[in-house]
Amino acid sequence: DSGVTQTPKHLITATGQRVTLRCSPRSGDLSVYWYQQSLDQGLQFLIQYYNGEERAKGNILERFSAQQFPDLHSELNLSSLELGDSALYFCASSSGPNYGYTFGSGTRLTVV
Amino acid sequence: GESVGLHLPTLSVQEGDNSIINCAYSNSASDYFIWYKQESGKGPQFIIDIRSNMDKRQGQRVTVLLNKTVKHLSLQIAATQPGDSAVYFCAENKRNTPLVFGKGTRLSVIA
C-alpha cells in the first residue's frame, strides 16, 4: 500500500457519459497530480493541485476537470466520454517540489 | 522542447546478469531525475532518484548514473531477478514543474 488511495479501481461506461475518479493523497502530502496512461504509452501529465489550488496544467482536455478539496482529496471529472478516453488514470502525491511522487494503483477506465 | 526518451523499448536479460536501462533527456535545466518501476496492473513505484549536482547514486542492487554532458541517465540493476521484470520509466523534473515521463522500457528476465 503506497498510501495514495484511488477509487474506483475499474470503471466501465458508455460514450457520452460522465465519470468521477477519486484520489486521497498520502498523509501530509499537499500536492496531487493526475496522469493518464494509455496502452503502451508513458504517463501523460494532466493537472496538479497544491493545497486546494490548481498549480499546473498539462495536456488535459476541456472535457476533463479536477479539483482538490479542503481535506486534500482530489477528484478528476471526465465528461462526454469518447472511446479514446479509455486508459489508466493515476493519481500521485508529493510532499513538495523536487521530491519523488507516490502513485496510487490507478483507475482503469473503459469506455464502450 | 523538453523531452525524456528511452533508447530501447524492450530489454531481455538472463537471471543473475546485470541490467542497464538508458534514458536521454533534452532539457539541460532539469535538476532532478527519478526512476520508476511499474509492474503489470500496478502504479509506478519509486526506485531511486538523483539530483543534478550528483553523477552517481547507489541503492539496494540499483545504481543511477547521470551524465550531464551528454544528457544521459542510466539505471543499473545488479544480479537481475525474475521479480525485476517490469516496465521502467525515467522521469525528469525541474523545480516547481511536474514530472515528465519517458515512454518506458520493458525489462524481461529470462530464468
Whether residue A60 lies within 8 A of chain B, CB to CB, comes out as no
Asked if residue B3 has pLDDT above 90, the reply is no
pLDDT digits (tens, 9 = 90+) for A19-43: 999 999 999 999 999 999 987 668 9
| B101·A97 Cβ contact <8 A | no
| A101·B97 Cβ contact <8 A | no
Distance from CA of B7 to the nearest CA of A (A): 14
User: Residue range B12-27: average pLDDT?
Assistant: 93
Q: Which alpha helices (DSSP H) does A1-112 contain, by range? A: none
| B46·A102 Cβ contact <8 A | yes
Q: What angle do CA A91, A98, B40 make, to 5 degrees?
A: 35
- One-letter identity of residue B29: A
Those residues whose C-beta lies under 8 Å from the C-beta of residue A36, and which sit 6 or more positions away, are: A43, A44, A46, A87, A88, A89, A90
Judge contact between B85 and A23, C-beta under 8 A: no
What local confidence, expressed as pLDDT, does residue B4 receive? Answer: 53
Asked if residue A97 has pLDDT above 80, the reply is no
pLDDT digits (tens, 9 = 90+) for B37-59: 999 889 999 999 999 999 999 99
